[in-house]
Amino acid sequence: MDNKKLKDVIKSCIEKKNAPGLLRLAFHDSGTFCKKENNGGVSGSITNLSELARDENDGLKNSAELVMKLKEKLPDVSVPDLIAVAGAVAVEICGGPAIEVQLGRKECFKDAPESRLPDENDGPKELQHKFARMGFSAKDLVVLSGAHTLGDARDKAFTDDRLTFSNSYFKNLAKKDLPAHLGRFKSDEALTEDSSLQKYVDQYAADEELFFRDFKESYIKMTNLGFKS
Ligand code: HEM
């Protein structure tokens, strides 16, 4: 099946309210990759109940179940391909860039290595270390964090329009005091605590087109981490 057809089927099966969870799921399936050890990464193992039970994956069960429903409709598409494309569709239906990811990821349901994903209490150094382990630059770290334009920092939305993909996350980061109805984590604030990260925050806050272009590029890289065909 080609990418466009696959996207159309996924679009017909999901609702906008599913978008934040699906985008986060795509990160949690790929962000366990270690470049040096060449393990972890896209596999579909994030749908294992054992992986979903980890603290780092709290809140992702419904999104994983949605992907398994897609799998029933699309048995010939691998689970990691469904996750990668569903994350791209999530961005697109919320008004973000259209992203075409390559297909052909192999399924592997062995649990991914634990404790590799970033934590909400991570500071700039820890975040940079964890993203570098995946093979990512400071720019990839900042631009992918822009996914927090969608959804919630637990009980409060990150931005005023939690289902619109925009550069509002970066605009909000520039505000020292976030309005009380919005939320963010220490790891979000960390992007403004190191000049090598802050420079990208400033660029994306000023230029949404640039954010969309760079997000697209880094999302493709993200969904290729540990790609085995
Ligand atoms: C930079 C390091 C990151 C940290 C520490 C982090 C941490 C978190 C945490 C703690 C939540 C709240 C989850 C909950 O409801 O309990 C969250 C939500 C979310 N994250 Fe991240 N995240 C990071 C990067 C990313 C990336 C790279 C993506 C995707 C490209 C992403 C996508 C999302 C989305 C869309 C949500 C909202 C989910 C929802 O409302 O259901 N995050 N993140």
Our answer on whether the CB atom of 41 is closer than 6 Å to any ligand 1 atom is: no
Cβ of 148 closer than 6 Å to ligand 1, yes or no, is yes
Kindly report the backbone phi and psi dihedral angles of residue 155, in degrees, each rounded to the nearest multiple of 5, phi listed first: -90, -5
CA-proximal residue: ligand 1, atom 23 (nearest): 145
Ligand 1 contacts CB of residue 105 (under 6 A): no
Q: CB of 77 closer than 6 A to ligand 1?
A: no
pLDDT for the residue 103: 97
Decide if 181 is catalytic. no
Residue pLDDT, tens place only, 39-53? 999 999 999 999 999
Structure confidence at residue 222 (pLDDT): 98
DSSP conformation class of 167: S
Radius of gyration of the chain measured on its C-alpha atoms: 16
Work out whether the CA dihedral 146, 214, 163, 85 comes out positive or negative: negative
Å from CA of 13 to ligand 1 middle: 23
Q: Would you state the structure tokens that stand for residue 83, as one six-digit string? A: 């996750």
pLDDT of residue 92: 98
Is a pLDDT exceeding 90 seen at residue 176? no
pLDDT confidence bin for 8, thresholds 50/70/90: very high
- Tokens at 66, concatenated: 């949605």
Helix (H, G, I), strand (E, B) or coil at 26: helix
Distance (Å, whole) CA 28 – CA 36: 19
User: Could you report the per-residue pLDDT of 100-141, keeping only the tens digit for each?
Assistant: 999 999 999 999 999 999 999 999 999 999 999 999 999 999
Q: Are 219 and 91 in contact (CB under 8 A)?
A: yes
Q: What is the pLDDT of residue 151?
A: 98
User: Which domains are delineated in the chain?
Assistant: 3-115 (1.10.520.10), 124-218 (1.10.420.10)
CA of 146 from ligand 1 middle (Å) equals 10
Q: How far is the CA of 58 from the centre of ligand 1 (A)?
A: 11
| Cβ contact 48:180 at 8 Å | no
Cβ 112 under 6 angstroms from ligand 1: no
Residue of minimum CA distance from atom 16 in ligand 1: 154
